[in-house]
Structure 1
């Protein structure tokens, strides 16, 4: 076993790959690797240390599985992967080595009654022979996998293959719709991990019950995929291969050598015509999918409540990814899938740039928006006072929804004044008011004081001119902002 590759399986769904006949195993071994489960964040450092002591080398790779049709809804899945990301960032830290990591998504893309049929894998093969490269983006790997699904659709010539490709696209539509893709990317790039690829497998058998992805699919399309009967036993989830293997030639391909010349010519014409028809159909479908996906992201980003502190920036990142993709098409040419004269990327690009333009920094780089609430001092304090007045509580209670919805965020409370009075007095007043608001949150909701940071800016950061009464009123304010824990 010392000569075999060592792959760690981590994340909230790691246990699903090691459950057989209702029992959990401590490892799995196939022909080329030993796979070790890491079921909690607390175990990871110990497992890496044990591998290095036993094998005199670090693990060869890390696999992060995602089971969309588990027992959790998408909010719980998103929260669990975010918890892993924050815990790893806090506990593991930089290492003297880099572990290539892969994201594996397990979904049923078409039920098959034959349990002997092996799962079908799409995406990047796990290659531990190459040196780890610069950390990649899950979104870019997902786009490459989408193109692979399109090619499988074009070349398969079988309805079930086309259905599998379409459902494969739907899996990534779900990942982007519920803002999971960027969380997975961050987790897979937390030191010492470096994201090397994304894999998608068709498990070949339906889940026991409708999970997050199936419920999303039903809501979006009305399709109701079959579920496994209660008497059946679910198959254990498979493990990917460490190397890509070339498919064996089919019987039809071996017989092609004996075709007569005119049979081959006729066959080539028929295939070319079918490919042309299918290509135009795929082009129309691809463009419609692009328009729908970008429109959905724009709609969700525009109307998503500010209480969703993680989702709002992740939607913004998704829009940036769309814009980057369309910019690449504009400079390098339109890909084959959405081409054929039906490409609509140029108009989409204009809408995307208009949406994200307000969030570009002066240097030109995109900066993700963080939720913030601004309250004028008149609503909270009497003139010159640092104690909350009686009508302030309803105004502050509206901010509690933002704080409750983001338990993993810290809260920065910043006080500001106009330029009336001395700078020293204004500085003291603004800081005292920020402290009073913090104390109200802590006392009324039993929130830990360590979640809060207070800052008094006095009159140093006006947002309007102090020359007018309206400008001075705008400058007398309190800003409450969520800050990522990291």
Structure 2
């Protein structure tokens, strides 16, 4: 086995296995135990496929085309594999015949077609797309019509196997030669026969039969057409549960071949239908134009080099199929996420406000959902949701709206609600900057009158942006702006560093939708609030009062 073949087999198998593992671990919603067992099974299957592919050997030598080194087929035209009867009289001592429009390659026995095509694929795989088949049928060499039909059944079997080997159906041309007066090649494709005289341009059958000499051969040619239709095409195209029918690309026929038997299938047919008896012509010479070269231009549009072999096409199809399956599972996972959060919201809305304990449990579920979606907004959603329509932002907004409607029980001791001061970033900073601009001092002084440093309270300064630009840059800019406001409060009011906490949220916590210009303007903000914390804002030598009373001191 050649090294290139081994590398190709390993590469294709590993590509398919990687695609399957990607689909399994990132999209299919099953447990890790099942995924582990499936991964082990995929590994075993991949190893078996590699072993099977590397066990293939070259064809055994038996005197046919598949056993010798195939010459370089330096053509972009059709390569016709010729099989059937009487090929010694056609090729003589040659195995190949090269023309300006294509190649004729001798196969011999029709049962060797599949082996020859496999050999061509192994030596010159791109030529598989240029192959076609011509079957030579000589009814004068048969005395039993059943034997003639059996050879056609073998052709049907080989054509089916060729479709499996190459991945597509090769064009099949039927070449029939009959005894009788010598005529040029007659090519039938469709409903209009064309006559192809040697060294002359093809012409329509109706024009060719105008001369007196050619007109005399019309009864015989008419019988050849009937024989092909009723004896040969009937066998090739009839329904069969084992082999599909063969639809011929073209039929090539002529008369003037040597009759080797006095009583043959063709002579008996002709006598039975017309009472004509052809003279025995065993000593006649062969016609000069042994090959129907006129069929090569018709095959040329259907001959093209194959880009990648059959194994490559299968891997590409498998990758495409895995992509479609992953897309379907991603859509299914997003649907399940919507159903899960929808169920939590439905439960929240179904519980009356007066049922405080169930309402609190439902509130906890909503907060957990909101925290999960918020984390995915910062870190990116999991891959299992990424190919479908991921609705995380919309679901998060709906959850926040539901959480904001929660009303605590009246008997519960209400804690003081921290005051939140919300500042417009555009009134403090230039676009994309984190340094306080001129004129921002007045805005800060007027807005921060109610913010006082107290022991047991933490001054939280948080920066927010809209969703314009990258997520990482927005988070960095929001943190820098929050630090600028903190530094101004610390330096202006002589407030200790321990009284502050600075946070930058970027665009992860919008208060309204970012779909409009006004919404994005509201989301660009700096928020300052007091949050109770026992060890916050302590001054040495002074015992801090409770964070719940209002007897704090101002710095």
TM tier relative to shorter chain: 0.3 to 0.5
Q: What TM-score, normalized to structure 1?
A: 0.37
Q: What TM-score, normalized to structure 2?
A: 0.33
Q: Which has the larger radius of gyration?
A: 2
